[in-house]
A = this chain, B = another copy of it.
Amino acid sequence: MARIWDKGLPLDQRILRFTAGEDHRLDERLVSYDVRASIAHARMLQAQGLLDDADCESICAELERLSAAHAAGEWSIALEDEDVHGALERRLIDAIGATGGRVHLGRSRNDQVLAALRLYLRDAIEHLSSLAAAVIESLEQLAATQGAIELPGYTHMQPAMPSSVALWARGFAAELEDDRRGLKRVRERADLNPLGSAAGYGAGGLPLDREATRRELEFAATQEPVTAVQLSRGKAEAALIFELDLLIGDVGRLASDLLLFYTAEFAYVSLPDEMTTGSSIMPQKRNPDVFELVRAARATITGALVEALEITAKLISGYHRDLQRLKAPLFRSIDLAEDVLAIMAHALRSVRFRPENIKLGPELRAAERANSLAVEQGIPFREAYRKIAAELNKQRR
């Protein structure tokens, strides 16, 4: 099987396996996006008179067919294909002959992979945002049904002032909305058409119409100049991982709260048996493993963020094969975030607060009393504060 850049020279098998790496597996999710971008490119070539109508139709029809067949599980990318681009080009040429090679005019894998990635990111962001919305929905439901239950509001892990399940749940919901706005901003960052930049220096005199592919693929703008395209590799990827870090960080802190509330000593919440797991040695245990795994998830995403940031660090401008390594941390973060959000939306629905165990001591009202004292007696807050403190100190002794 010939690789797309094959010039008839030998290639060391071990080198091939090492350089292809895990791309053939990672790229499965890019098949439909690469097809879509290829079709946009082909139609542009046709409009510019660089591809005749029959060839264009035959290329586009076969690409559509390959995409559907892939979605139906009829084929997958082989190691020898190297990546999604190789897999599609080879199958296209197998199916319609040398004509398949015409779609590569004015295009490099360097702009091709970015186009597919950005289209994928758009969908991934949409999906992640809707999963975050589902967690918010579960929190709102919790607030609606159990919101009136009083909770101590903590600072320094110490009871501080009165709070409630509603305030608790809606605080997290508000932060998840903040995270959803963050996701939307990443989409803006990635909303640029890379096609036409080819290997990073334009398409060598061909009369390409970059605006046409931009319109077709619904990018907000065309990325200019062409040299910016490869410099931008890794930035939108890292920006998404960063936003997922904040998002899963918020969800992880929600899990921390629940793990504390579920301790035997707090016993503020109960979880149904079907949500807890047992111990292999202690028959009595009902462990909240799901929230522990949620809490730990952020570590994986912070690691992926460092990985993505360091991949591009210090590289001179232009494309480098190093950039291939960006996919793994990106996809790992997206998949993990999806799992975590889905399970949290689900698990939150069976959390039950136990008001019988939740006591709010009178000291939680101390700040309020100092406020009242200051207002009623017209004394400075600091004076009122010291009076209440002195009173409480007396009680402690």
Shortest distance from the beta carbon of A292 to any chain B beta carbon, whole Å: 4
B205/A372 in contact, CB under 8 A: yes
Question: Which A residues, 244 to 266, have Cβ-Cβ distances below 8 Å to chain B?
Answer: 245-246, 249-250, 252-254, 256-257, 259-260, 262-266
Interface assignment of A46: CB less than 8 Å from any CB of chain B: no
Q: Which residue of B lies closest to A231 (CB)?
A: B175
Shortest distance from the beta carbon of A119 to any chain B beta carbon, whole Å: 19
Q: How many of A's residues come within 8 Å of B, CB to CB?
A: 170
B292/A199 in contact, CB under 8 A: no
Chain B residues with CB under 8 Å of A161's CB are 198-202, 204, 282
Identify which of B159, B254, B374, B389 contacts A7 (C-beta below 8 A).
Answer: B389
Give bound CA distance, A293 to B322, whole Å.
5
Identify which of B155, B226, B275, B296 contacts A15 (C-beta below 8 A).
Answer: B275
Chain B residues with CB under 8 Å of A286's CB are 158
Prevailing SS type, chain A contact patch:
helix
Chain B residues with CB under 8 Å of A175's CB are 228, 231-232, 235
For this chain, the copies found in one complex come to 4
Interface assignment of A210: CB less than 8 Å from any CB of chain B: no
Given contacts A102-B380, A105-B371, contact A310 B303 (CB under 8 A): yes
Interface assignment of A273: CB less than 8 Å from any CB of chain B: yes
Given contacts A98-B383, A284-B366, contact A322 B295 (CB under 8 A): yes
With A155-B199, A303-B310, A304-B307 known, 6 other A-B pairs at CB within 8 A are A5-B285, A14-B342, A174-B224, A199-B367, A298-B309, A303-B305
